[in-house]
């Protein structure tokens, strides 16, 4: 993929996903792959871009005190622990199976984005249930980060909303967990395959710029739910293409 074209796409893509409170590795890994980048390299690059973009958004949530550390830390510890396991398994998985798994992930991610809406009120959940549900999804997110190269925020956010966190705190905690799992996933995968340093550097700079602009210029007129709907449709289209390629 032409580095300049990729940089422009990454700038806008990560900017839009930052407005929606998520990273964009899920979107760009298949884009890079279908543009000619080998799948292992596309996965590693996507994780790196997630790390860069979420590295900008997560600290802003920490400064705004919109992160539930008592819940987020146990989740991210489990996620970081299991990410290397997913990475170690990935190199032994057949390419078509890996594409099929990624397509399934895109379908589910799109559904969660399309149908999930932030709750208008909170409800009480016992602490053991809160920790149990959080760490369970954290383990899945960590494994997926290593296996497929995704931060897993689309899975974490609905769970945190469901166990009673308000929307801003759920988004902030999700960003922190996705950042940690992406770092661990990238560190694990970077040793398993090549990475085009020049391409990665250019797109990483674009991802950082997109996330930074989004964090500074987002307004209440921008609907996060509306953005998620658009992204969900894009993910479904990409998933359909991947499924067609696997079956044909």
pLDDT tens digits for 29-57?
Answer: 888 988 888 888 888 898 899 899 988 88
Domain count, the chain: 1
Q: How far apart are CA 179 and CA 176, in angstroms?
A: 5
Q: How far apart are CA 8 and CA 186, in angstroms?
A: 23
- Strand ranges, E, within 88-245: none
Q: Is the pLDDT of residue 114 over 70?
A: yes
How many beta carbons lie within 10 A of that of residue 110, not counting itself? 23
Is residue 218 predicted with pLDDT exceeding 60? no
* Nearest partner of 90 among 239, 193, 238, judged by Cα: 193
Which residue's entry shows tokens 């020049």?
Answer: 198
Q: Percent of the chain at pLDDT above 70?
A: 84
pLDDT digits (tens, 9 = 90+) for 67-103: 888 888 888 888 888 888 887 787 777 878 877 888 8
Tell which wins on pLDDT, 105 or 6. Answer: 6
Question: Is 230 within 8 Å of 104 (Cβ atoms)?
Answer: no
**Cα(174)–Cα(153) distance, rounded to whole angstroms?**
6
Cβ proximity of 23 and 13 under 8 Å: no
Question: Does 130 score more than 70 pLDDT?
Answer: no
* Tokens 């940690």, located at residue: 180
- Placement of tokens 């993910």 in the chain: 235
Dihedral of CA 217/218/220/223: which sign?
A: positive
Cβ-based neighbours of 193, under 8 Å, separated by 6 or more:
38, 40, 41, 43, 44, 91
- Where is pLDDT greater, at 242 or 121? 242
pLDDT of residue 209: 93
Reported as a single tens digit per residue, the pLDDT across 6-19 is 999 999 888 877 76
Give the pLDDT mean for 173-195. Answer: 79
Q: Pick left, alpha or beta for residue 194 (phi over 0 → left; psi -120 to 50 → alpha; otherwise beta).
A: beta
Taking a C-beta distance cutoff of 8 angstroms, is the pair 91, 192 a contact? yes
With a CB cutoff of 8 Å and minimum separation 6, the contacts of 158 are 112, 116
Say what the pLDDT of residue 201 is. 93
- Mean pLDDT within 98-118: 77
List, for residues 58-69, the tens digit of each pLDDT value: 888 888 888 888
Q: Which domain holds residue 147?
A: 3-247
CA distance 48 to 32: 13
């Amino acid at each position: 993929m032409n580095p300049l074209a990729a940089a422009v796409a990454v700038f806008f893509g990560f900017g839009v996903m930052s407005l929606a409170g998520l990273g964009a590795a899920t979107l760009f890994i298949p884009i890079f792959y279908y543009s000619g980048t080998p799948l292992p390299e596309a996965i590693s690059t996507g994780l790196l871009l997630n790390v860069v973009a979420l590295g900008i958004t997560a600290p802003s949530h920490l400064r705004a005190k919109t992160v539930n550390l008592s819940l987020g830390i146990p989740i991210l510890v489990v996620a970081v622990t299991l990410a290397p396991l997913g990475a170690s398994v990935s190199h032994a998985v057949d390419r078509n199976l890996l594409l099929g798994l990624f397509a399934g992930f895109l379908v589910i991610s799109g559904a969660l984005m399309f149908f999930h809406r932030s709750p208008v009120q909170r409800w009480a959940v016992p602490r053991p249930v809160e920790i149990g549900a959080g760490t369970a999804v954290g383990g899945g997110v960590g494994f997926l980060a290593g296996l497929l190269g995704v931060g897993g925020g689309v899975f974490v956010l609905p769970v945190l909303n469901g166990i009673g966190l308000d929307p801003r705190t759920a988004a902030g905690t999700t960003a922190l967990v996705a950042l940690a799992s992406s770092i661990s996933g990238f560190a694990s995968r970077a040793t398993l395959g090549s990475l085009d340093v020049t391409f990665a550097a250019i797109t990483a700079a674009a991802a950082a710029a997109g996330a930074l602009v989004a964090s500074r210029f987002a307004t209440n007129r921008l609907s996060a739910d509306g953005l998620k709907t658009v992204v969900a449709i894009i993910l479904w289209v990409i998933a359909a293409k991947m499924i067609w390629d696997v079956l044909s």
